[in-house]
Amino acid sequence: MELRQIAFDSLGNSFENTGNITVYIKEAGAWEPFLVLQSNYPGQGNGGTLLLRKYFLEERMPWQTLDNWHQHRPTYYPLSHMSNWLETVYIQLFSPAMQQRILTTYIQVETGEDNPVERQLQTIPSRVFLLSEYEVGSATLNTRARAREGSPIEFFNPGRRYGNLQDRNDVMHERRIANTRYPYQGDTSPSWGGGGGNPGYSSWWLRTEMDTIARDTISAIMFDGTLGFIHAEDYTFVRPAFTLPGNTVIKRYEVESGRVVFVIPPE
């Protein structure tokens, strides 16, 4: 069976729950689940199949560090700490063979150039990245407030078969909620991005700058699945995304407690 066959947009009406679109990959030597969101995402060759880490990485991280703050525009994604860390550190948690499989993806980001009417976009190559606000379900126009980066991902943009607008928004919010896989042991200071006192359900970074009354803020999904923003140097959780060839072979395999799931076999 091929990876693209279990992507959300490939399943259509046969989708039941996220278990249908989950594949496990060895990360740092352990099986980690990823959601298979889109069968064909822009990138290398004819594009690849988009994966998003199901659970947060265990440690909260800043989107930008103070070391870069005065060297570059702090909210320019290609020069952010987060982009650099995903591309140089996180990717190394996979085996050399898996790293070679990860495709170069072409993502849209805003340029950071001042424009009184709307944000200007550019397309950049990236192998591991954050999703954008527009991709995960914001209906915003491309305005001075933030850019309309990429295209809506169907998983986060439920169609009319899910009911009226309120029902569809409820589904969108539910699908955007994420948590830690294991009990969180880290810092629970106020800059973590909410969660009603429960760091297991907290916010996660997007790559979109959000121009607010507070400067240098970045869009984030909050603990209840709604859209919010966090200052770029504050800390919250991370859900990396990347693409693999759609014809990547997946197999059924027992990974834990007798559970049989789809995996990408290690080479």
Interval 18-59: pLDDT, tens? 888 999 999 999 999 999 999 999 887 778 999 999 999 988
User: What digits encode the pLDDT tens for the residues 107-133?
Assistant: 999 886 655 556 678 999 999 999 999
Structure tokens at 156: 């986060």
Chain-centroid distance of CA 186 in Å reads: 21
For the stretch 229-265, pLDDT in tens is 898 989 999 999 999 999 999 999 988 777 889 999 9
Bridge partners (DSSP) listed for residue 230? 218
Per DSSP, 132 falls in state P
Q: Is the pLDDT of residue 213 over 70?
A: no
- Looking at the 3D structure of the chain, how many domains does it have? 1
- b (16+ CB within 10 A) / e for 94-106: bbeebeebbbebb
Q: Where in the sequence is the domain holding 68, given as residue range(s)?
A: 3-263
Let me know how long the chain is.
Answer: 267
For residues 23 and 33, the answer to whether their CB atoms sit within 8 Å is: yes
Give the Cα separation of 81 and 266 in Å (integer).
30
Highest mean pLDDT among 1-15, 37-51, 209-223, 233-247: 233-247
